Structure 1
Amino acid sequence: MTLEILKTKEELRNLIDDYAYLGDDKKIAEVMDLLTPDVTYKVYMGGVLVADVSGRENMEKDFNHHASLVKNYFTLNGQHTVKIDNETASGVSFTQIKMIREIEGKDILTDYSVKYDDSYVFQNGKWLIKDRVAHFLIIETRPVS
């Protein structure tokens, strides 16, 4: 493994970590800076497609709406495997996402176990997410005590 490949793997890992950090802080405009203008984002829950968004503008609108419904986010990234091909790459990552929403005056925690299938491109000197498919594999909801 060359030093260049190791550097690229670190940059791609930082990209998905930055996506999580900024999302947790509800810095949606900054999250959008991590995506290509023509990004696509699909979400599957229980194998069923529940969201299919194209373009950074549409993503920002959807993410802002979603963030307005959530009191707190907490994201923990796990495994991240990538295949690099010059200025494109594909990756698989696993994430735990916790969200607290207020429902009928009570804080409700939803805990998601997510697998992301990503496509990345190197543009203007940095790696960006071009396509992201989120597979919400396990979803647990409970009141916060």
Structure 2
Amino acid sequence: MTLEIVKIKEELRNLIDDYAYLGDEKKISEVMDLFTPDLSYNVYMNGNLVSNVSGRENMEKDFNAHASQVKTYFTLNGQHTVKINGDAATGISFSQIKMIREVEGKDVLTDYSVKYDDQYLYLNGKWLIKERIAYFIILESRSIS
């Protein structure tokens, strides 16, 4: 493995971690800067497609609408494997996401176990996410005090 490959892998891991950090802080406009303008973002829950968004403007609207319903986000990233091909790459990463929402006056914690399939592009001196498919594999909700 060359030093250049190691550097690219670190940049791609930082991209994934930045997505989590900024999302947890609800810095949605900054999250959008991590994607190509023509992005595609699909979400599957229990094997069913529940969201299909393309373009930064549409995704920013969706993310802001979602964030407005969430009191707290907490994301923990796990393994991240990439394959690099010049200025393009693919990656698989895993995350544990916790969200707290208020439902009927009670705080409800939902835990999500998520697998992301990504396509990345190197544009204007930085790596960006071009396509993200999120597979919400395990979902658990419970009231908390």
TM-score normalized with structure 1 length: 1.00
Superposition map of 1:49-60 within 5 A:
49-60=49-60
Partner of 2:2: 2
Partner of 1:71: 71
Superposition map of 1:1-145 within 5 A:
1-145=1-145
SS of 2:76's equivalent in the other structure is strand
- CA positional deviation for 1:99: 0.1
SS of 2:70's equivalent in the other structure is coil
- CA positional deviation for 1:12: 0.1
Please list every run of 5 or more consecutive structure 1 residues that lacks an aligned counterpart in the other structure.
Answer: none
Which whole-Å deviations, capped at 9, do the CAs of 1:1-22 have from their partners, x for residues lacking one?
0000000000000000000000
Q: Partner letter of residue 6 of structure 1?
A: V
- CA positional deviation for 1:92: 0.1
Q: Tell me, in whole angstroms, the C-alpha distance in 2 between the residues paired with 1:49 and 1:104.
A: 27
Q: Tell me, in whole angstroms, the C-alpha distance in 2 between the residues paired with 1:83 and 1:67.
A: 31
- CA positional deviation for 1:70: 0.1
Please tell me the root mean square deviation across aligned C-alpha atoms, in Å: 0.3
- CA positional deviation for 1:117: 0.1
Which whole-Å deviations, capped at 9, do the CAs of 1:3-47 have from their partners, x for residues lacking one?
000000000000000000000000000000000000000000000
* Corresponding pairs, count: 145
Q: Tell me, in whole angstroms, the C-alpha distance in 2 between the residues paired with 1:72 and 1:144.
A: 13
SS of 1:127's equivalent in the other structure is strand
TM-score normalized with structure 2 length: 1.00
Q: Tell me, in whole angstroms, the C-alpha distance in 1 between the residues paired with 2:114 and 2:94.
A: 6
SS of 2:37's equivalent in the other structure is strand
Please list every run of 5 or more consecutive structure 2 residues that lacks an aligned counterpart in the other structure.
Answer: none
Structure 1 ranges of 4+ moved more than 6 A: none
